[in-house]
Amino acid sequence: MIQSINAYSWAWKTIFSPKIRRSIIIPSLIHTLIIILSFWGIFHFAEPYFFDWPPPELPVWLDWADEVLGVILIILSYILWIIFAVTLLAVGFATFTPIAHLIASPFVGQLSLDAESLLRPINHPEYSIATLAGRTVKRETSRILYWLTRALPLMLLSVLFWVPVMNTLVSVLWFVFSSWMLGLQALDAAADNNGANFKQTCAIAKKDKLNTLVLGAITTLLMLIPIVNFLSLSLSVLAGTRLWVHLNSK
């Protein structure tokens, strides 16, 4: 846990250094654009289901309860909206951030490379363009399958979201899963640069599950902070690179 916090502390100190500053612009723009558009679309679609509830028809002798019932419905809709929003954020970060990472992968790789060069001498394996393309396709396929096999059971469990207590459980499980995926994602750029495939990345992450999970949880929380969330992808790559170097120096 301490190492992931130290990794983020190092990332904060490093992100605006001359060598790193030039590498964060494009990944940050891509990440911000995808997240904003994705969440705007989802919230725009979901909002009517929470705030446009038609008032129930009451018997004439209960006319006096119209206003009271209206207030109760408004309060209930906001409570459900908050629970839904928290769950949606966790699901969205687990889903859309890998997409942003994939699109920004050429720039993320360079950012991780620049970060690692500040930590230790680097001697990465070299690949031909054809080999590199094949590795990328295989890596992303493995990542998608890894995500699907774990996200689908959670999606099925999310059907019970409207059941009291279960909605809290579903939200917590999505947050933990999102944090784990973001932790893996943060480590993956440095892992790829060093020739490790996705399966090997997962194996190394599992050796220190707590630090990987905390790394992703910090990333999730940073995404909720205005302005800071623009830099969250770049910060996570820097922190992930720092943690990767630590994990492989044992």
- Render pLDDT for 74-112 as a digit per residue (tens, 0 to 9): 676 667 667 666 666 666 665 666 666 667 766 788 888
Q: Is 239 exposed, middle or buried (0-12, 13-18, 19+ CB in 10 A)?
A: buried
pLDDT band at 57, cuts 50/70/90?
A: low
The Cα 5–Cα 197 span in angstroms is: 25
Give Cβ neighbours of residue 246 (< 8 Å, ≥ 6 apart).
3, 7
What count of other Cβ atoms lies within 10 Å of the Cβ of residue 19?
A: 11
Q: Where are the domains of the chain?
A: 2-247
Q: Which two tokens stand for residue 68?
A: 């009271």
**What was the pLDDT predicted at 37?**
75
**What was the pLDDT predicted at 28?**
80
- Render pLDDT for 129-173 as a digit per residue (tens, 0 to 9): 566 667 767 777 788 889 889 888 888 887 776 677 777 788 788
**Residue tagged 């494009």 (tokens):** 26
Predicted confidence (pLDDT) at residue 52 exceeds the cutoff of 60:
no
Single out the residue of 250, 249, 231 nearest to residue 8, CA to CA: 231
The length of the chain in residues reads: 250
Q: What is the four-CA torsion angle of 14, 18, 23, 24, rounded to 10 degrees?
A: 50
The Cα 23–Cα 110 span in angstroms is: 7
Higher pLDDT: 119 or 1? It is: 119
| Span between the terminal Cα atoms of the chain, in Å | 16
- Render pLDDT for 167-214 as a digit per residue (tens, 0 to 9): 778 878 888 888 898 899 889 889 988 888 888 999 999 989 999 999
